[in-house]
Structure 1
Amino acid sequence: MWNKDLTRPAARSSFTCMTAAATRPSETLLHIGGEMLLPLPEGALWWAAERVLVVSDLHLEKGSAYAARGQMLPPYDTAATLDVVERLCAALSPRTVISLGDSFHDRAAELRLPAPYAARIQALTGAHDWVWVEGNHDPDPPAHLGGRAAKSLRIGHLVFRHEPTGEAGEIAGHLHPAAKVKGRGRMVRRRCFASDGARLVMPAMGALTGGLNVLDAAFAPLFPEGLMAFALGGERVFAVSAKSLVPDVANGARWRL
């Protein structure tokens, strides 16, 4: 099955003042590629040893993309998503921020991006070593927003890319994992991290992004021996036992990435 050393309790002396909420009663640490990584309830990943913050699938300007096609969504998704990223950067002071692909919802997003939002992005990229990893929605991040582009990024034993391949030590996004859990007579569905101790798929952070159930067939080739889900809660991330996971009800239309 999965790596038995997948999670460990947090060492408070090592992580105090290094997480977005140091007063949380407990934290779940993931052991991937020999490194200890902290999944945050905001959906980001914190690698304290290297001061690296990883965010994935921001899908900035998704609302305006839908509005352009006549489906009117509230036009506040970019502001809401940037609020979360800014808050994490202020709390953690990362040296490097890796945006793990699909940072923008489409190639025309920069043309719809309001100037105040562009200025906020430029402030973030100017304050950190910001890496835009290539995604399937945004192969060419807007150059004027700062940061540097990469198809993938290797740091030590870890590799960061958008679309997961199943490589050991891989941190990827793209699939927008979500866990549906049955417990105490009700169903709860939450965005989640998916991992088997050797690789990790991150949840989408975008305010208007959906999620793909971790029991979907798309995850099976990546985790042939099974996976564990780590669901986002209001104050912490919760490990979910495999027996608690339930599939979504089939409705004849599969969620699209």
Structure 2
Amino acid sequence: MNSADLILSGETLTACPSGALFWPRERMLVVSDLHLGKSERIARRGGGLLPPYDTLETLTRLQSDIQALRPETVLCLGDSFDDVAAAEALDDSHRDTVQRLQAGRRWLWVEGNHDPGPIDLGGTHLAEFRAGALVFRHIATPGETSGEVSGHYHPKACLRAVRRPCFLTDDQKLIMPAYGAYTGGLAWTTPVLRSLLADRATAFLTGRKVLAVPVPRTA
């Protein structure tokens, strides 16, 4: 699968090429910032018309990860939908896909700033989730230094003029890349990201093969 293992607060986690995170001991798959329905939300608010295939592409990738890893739990780490109306407007075929993926496993929705409340789509809705030494929340808490997994910032690394979504970690905190097909992101050296991590941090770049590289302090 061309993935890479990392250690966070003593737990071994696997960074997947897709941008998903797998916790083997808990049989848990974590994905952040799916932003399902983004093209619909942009059109609804009078923005440009994007090809309406982002939700299909994101769910297809998620289905592939679930088929490959067979998780017992799937945790969606906030901003699973681009807004609450996008969740309500989800196409029936996409709703059916989500419900098929939920069947036979625990499904957790952690709330994000784009989807700050329950949606009518099965699963359990939480403000955050704790398991063992780890805590999962949408936005990193400044000053918390041990075992936090978060999303929200959509970090991207730039190497040789190529930008790739990436995981950022200092072995105590982990910030996940956006999983959704239509998502921008912040440069890995953006002050808000570097302020959340220790001076010595590592990026795990997604793509065909996960690549670990040190995070520079400045751009």
Query: Do both share a fold (TM > 0.5)?
Result: yes
**Matching residue within 79, 94, 98 for 2:75:** 98
Q: 2:154 corresponds to which residue?
A: 176
Structure 1 Cα separation of the partners of residues 61 and 126 of structure 2: 23
Q: Is the 8 A contact 1:100 1:134 kept in 2?
A: yes
Structure 2 Cα separation of the partners of residues 242 and 114 of structure 1: 40
Asked if 1:233 corresponds to 2:199, the answer is no
Structure 2 Cα separation of the partners of residues 73 and 127 of structure 1: 34
Asked if 1:29 corresponds to 2:2, the answer is no
Structure 1 Cα separation of the partners of residues 27 and 199 of structure 2: 31
Structure 1 Cα separation of the partners of residues 106 and 96 of structure 2: 17
Task: Tell me by how many angstroms 1:42 deviates.
Answer: 0.2
**Matching residue within 138, 146, 170 for 2:115:** 138
Structure 2 Cα separation of the partners of residues 51 and 242 of structure 1: 29
Structure 2 Cα separation of the partners of residues 141 and 104 of structure 1: 11
Task: Tell me by how many angstroms 1:77 deviates.
Answer: 0.4
Superposed CA deviations along residues 120-139 of structure 1, whole A, max 9, x for unmatched, are 11112223200000100001
Asked if 1:66 corresponds to 2:39, the answer is no
Q: Is the 8 A contact 1:160 1:170 kept in 2?
A: yes
Q: Report sequence identity in percent.
A: 45
Q: 1:219 corresponds to which residue?
A: 193
Q: Is the 8 A contact 2:170 2:198 kept in 1?
A: no
Task: Tell me by how many angstroms 1:225 deviates.
Answer: 2.3
TM-score scaled by length of structure 1: 0.80
**Matching residue within 68, 92, 95 for 1:115:** 92
SS at match of 1:79: helix
Task: Tell me by how many angstroms 1:246 deviates.
Answer: 6.9
Q: 1:224 to 1:33 in 2, by over 3 A?
A: closer
Q: 2:136 corresponds to which residue?
A: 160
Structure 2 Cα separation of the partners of residues 177 and 141 of structure 1: 26
TM-score scaled by length of structure 2: 0.94
**Matching residue within 149, 171, 181 for 1:207:** 181
Q: Is the 8 A contact 1:181 1:246 kept in 2?
A: no
Q: Which runs of 5 or more residues in structure 1 are unaligned?
A: 1-20, 248-257
